[in-house]
Chain A
Amino acid sequence: MLAFVKRFSLKRTKHPRGYEDPQVLASETPFTVNEIEALHNLFKKLSTSIINDGLIHKEEFLLALFRNSSMQNLFADRVFYMFDRKRNGVIEFGEFVRSLSIFHPHTPEHEKSSFMFKLYDLDGTGFIQRHELKKMVGALLSETDLGLSEECIEAIVEQTMVEVDTNKDGKIDEEEWKELVAKNPSILKNMTLPYLKEVTLAFPSFVLDSEVDD
């Protein structure tokens, strides 16, 4: 059915690869059809900024986040990876909408929490391991130009492991993660974008239009 819709719409409107019918996406996400259309406008901007093929490539993604397409950033890589559900190296429109829907204010917390856990599970083992946490702390600190000694990073990681790894097996499982999130809801702060509720309202100016001023 989905494939049919996809092929159908592709034929009719010459939508690029990965385009999906807003009706279908609206039925699967908290977005309305109008909102999905608004998101499509955003997607078009993002996906044509470097390569005009209607797919968001890594460079385009980085350009949107950092205004720098060659930026090296572990977290950007991870977010891209999470958005690229088919793992084919590009973000298609359907992937874009479904992934963004997790950031919708109406999406249940456990979905947000689970998304974030997978994002931090760098090696995909089903656990956030100590070395992964350390790698991420290191990445964040280098992002902030904050030179900290190895011992200092180690101390930050150790403190958190003691706090979170309650069964003391050296890694954080999903249960421990859930407890952590319950205690520190601010960890999920980034997982909710209030803007998504008013995507159509915001539309005229929220697109990546560098000339638009308020």
Chain B
Amino acid sequence: MNRQKVQRRVGKYEVGRTIGQGNSAKVRFGKNTETGESVALKILDKQNLHKNMMPKQIRREISTMKLINHPNVVRLYEVLASKTKIYIVLEFATGGDLYGKISKLRQLPDGRLKEDEARRYFQQLINAVDYCHSRGVYHRDLKPENLLLDAQGNLKVSDFGLSALSRQAGAYLDLAGDGLLHTTCGTPNYVAPEVLNDQGYDGATADLWSCGVILFLLLAGHLPFEDYNIMMLYKKIIGAEYSCPAWLSPGAKNLIVRILDPNPMTRIKIPEILEDAWFKKDYKPAVFEEQDEAKLDDVEAAFKDSEEHHVTENNEEQPTSMNAFELISMSRALDLGNFLKKKRCASKTNNAYGLKREIRFAAIGAANELVQKIEAASKPLGFDIQKNSYKMRLEKANAGRKGTLKVATEIFQVSPTLHMVEVRKTKGDTLEFHKFYKKLSTTLNDVVWKSDDTSDKTTNERKTDSCL
């Protein structure tokens, strides 16, 4: 059967598969329907943005990014906003990221980049950083995951000027406060000592430190600062305690030492790097034309939250929410179909559902966990699964006397941890459907409470203490 896929759109962009998932942002593949051009859509929840996290400085930097058209910088085309989300439309880099490349190399014995190759990436990184800094835009979160590659293997730095959007303010401060690694923020391996000390820092020198860590990683194949204990890691970074592998060339070692200088005042500056002998080998300055005109009002508008500028989006990243009235309408007493429908033997209490084609139950837990659990429960039963965020279609050929059984499920959000799961038979034998439901509910036993019949009190009643 040919099933028509729901086309998700945001403004003029078709939204495709998820290509990246960060702490507070998701990146999806997109296509400009006017030009056919591929883009990457960075999607941020407005509620995750701190109210005061968008100071003028950040807005100005994002605006500036629209003007930057550098071969080693991922282009920022435009910024869109809907009622709940911000969409940053970026150039799509087809070659993956440097992190992936290094990870693959690491699996090989002695796996690391050749010095010339590492140098070429580093030169392109410095080109990008130098240019953006000259325009007053700082990265603040340089790491290999943000270093993308195009089809020709050229480096493209992503997320310039955007780091403040995706990082929670004070995340590093928190780390310093209780010494625990908070899973919500990234590892601080690339962060400069002065940032960790939170003494106010210069974006330019801090970015350079991160470039130094990246250069070390490219050449050595491992990070200069690593420790399972976060406090130890801090100590190492702040004291610049690292050791270069013996086989590093003296030129490379010398440059690393100059960059990984814990004192931002004495740390090497970009003009000096450009003059460094090791760096200069085979150096090609970037060739490009500057763009001097771009429409900038979208950036202001997107963050100002004026509704008139909202793009239309027809897909939610969140499950469809269910308000109190929709919740109430699930009461069995309000379904007068119970009067009218055929009923199977009422005395058979184990057949508690009166053979309905649609069953809804409440479940506690996060929506994506529920999706995973339904998936895990249905797969062993031989169902093919199609997922579309929180909607699923399950299909099992030759399930019963009516042939293929098709089931649709959807998860509705009542509160962040309370969801309603709807399980609906769309085709096939009702008895088979109920067999499936029984198996599903057994598998979901730890999250499901709802039983449809008063005679069925086998499920445990539990109390949850809070909504969050």
Contacts and interface: CB of A to CB of B under 8 A. Distances in A.
B355 to A, nearest CB: 9
Contacts of A66: 332-333, 454
A25 interface: no
B418 A148 contact: yes
Interface string B359-376: 001101000000000000
A160 interface: yes
Contact of A147 (B324, B338, B414, B464): B464
Contact of B334 (A79, A148, A160, A206): A79
A166 interface: no
A75 B328 contact: yes
Interface stretch (B96-104, B154-162, B212-220, B344-352): B344-352
A147 B337 contact: no
A210 B327 contact: no
Interface centre among B343, B455, B464, by most A CB within 10 Å? B343
A184 B323 contact: yes
B391 interface: no
B56 interface: no
B336 A137 contact: no
Interface in B33-82: none
Interface stretch (A7-15, A28-36, A151-159): A151-159
A156 B417 CA distance: 11
Interface in A154-186: 155-157, 159-160, 163-164, 180, 184, 186
11 contacts: A66-B332, A71-B454, A79-B333, A133-B325, A136-B324, A146-B418, A148-B463, A148-B464, A149-B467, A184-B323, A187-B329
Interface string A129-146: 000010011011101111
A206 B463 CA distance: 39
A73 interface: yes
Contact of A64 (B339, B362, B450): B339
Contact of B337 (A156, A195, A199, A209): A195
B435 interface: no
B180 interface: no
Given A66-B454, A156-B324, A164-B323, A206 B341 contact: yes
Contacts of A106: none
B450 A213 contact: no
B338 A187 contact: no
A145 B449 contact: yes
Q: Main secondary structure on chain B at its contact with chain A?
A: loop
Interface of B: 323-347, 361-362, 364, 414-415, 418, 449-451, 453-455, 457, 459, 461-467
A146 B451 CA distance: 9
Contacts of A143: 331-333
A155 B467 contact: yes
B303 to A, nearest CB: 23
B324 A190 contact: no
Given A151-B467, A160-B325, A210-B347, A145 B336 contact: no
Given A144-B449, A151-B466, A42 B339 contact: yes
Nearest to B460: A145
B326 A184 contact: yes
Nearest to B339: A64
Nearest to B347: A210
Contacts of B338: 64-65
B424 to A, nearest CB: 12
